[in-house]
Amino acid sequence: MYTSIIAETERLRIRPYVLADAPFILTLLNTPSWLIFIGDRGVSTIEEAETYIVDNALMSYDQYGLGPYIVELKETCIPIGHCGLHKRPALDDIDIGFAFMPEHTGNGYGYESASALVAYAQNTLGLTRLTGITKPANNRSIRLLEKLGMRFEKQILFGTGAAESLLFGMTLPVRPY
């Protein structure tokens, strides 16, 4: 069913979005934490979720060779969240982002999947720098970005209505050849 697995960890599999993920995406994009910290994407039907997948994930894979990915439990293949590498026009560097269903937060899945994507960014994509953006009130996200090794760099205006966000960044070691 999947064209490729981006990364695997002991507990998780990280893979590209497919249209069959629309019901999960509809639910994830309408969780309270997504709406508060990421923003309303106006996705309220399965059809809108499919359009969101095509216009965001699939387009990003085609255009940049990276994008948002589904994080699923390895044993059951049940999707539990999203972790991705995003090329955002307003930023110079690739941005790592993550969001999980409420029942799957606090279990280390965010760090586990984000760490795997940092390694993928460095070892497979050859990136030398990553950033992370979060709202000032999103303490969980701030802690996770810092745990990944990112450091606060500056406040920026980003997103819908140009809201204040915090930009974190890290330099990835150049991989040996």
Average pLDDT over residues 111-134: 96
162 has pLDDT over 90? no
Instruction: Give 71-83 pLDDT, tens digit per residue.
Output: 999 999 999 999 9
Instruction: Assign residue 156 the CATH number of its domain.
Output: 3.40.630.30
Task: Determine, yes or no, domain membership for 44.
Answer: yes
Average pLDDT over residues 92-115: 95
Task: Determine, yes or no, domain membership for 141.
Answer: yes
Predicted pLDDT of residue 67: 96
| pLDDT: which is higher, 67 or 36 | 67
Average pLDDT over residues 133-159: 93
166 has pLDDT over 90? yes
Task: Determine, yes or no, domain membership for 122.
Answer: yes
Task: Determine, yes or no, domain membership for 2.
Answer: no
Whether the predicted model's global pTM rises above the 0.95 cut: no
Percent of the chain surpassing pLDDT 90: 84
Query: Do the beta carbons of residue 67 and residue 57 sit within 8 Å?
Result: yes
What single string gives the DSSP state of each residue in 91-113? -SSEEEEEEE-GGGTTSSHHHHH
48 has pLDDT over 90? yes
Predicted pLDDT of residue 159: 66
* Total domains, the chain: 1
Domain hosting residue 143, numbered range: 7-171
Task: Determine, yes or no, domain membership for 42.
Answer: yes
Predicted pLDDT of residue 177: 56
Task: Determine, yes or no, domain membership for 118.
Answer: yes
Please name which of 77, 19, 86, 84 lies closest in space to residue 46, comparing C-alpha atoms: 19
Predicted pLDDT of residue 173: 82
8 has pLDDT over 80? yes
Confidence band of 1 (pLDDT split at 50, 70, 90) = very low
**Gap between the Cα atoms of 76 and 138, Å rounded:** 30
Average pLDDT over residues 11-22: 97
Task: Determine, yes or no, domain membership for 152.
Answer: yes
Task: Determine, yes or no, domain membership for 176.
Answer: no
90 has pLDDT over 90? no
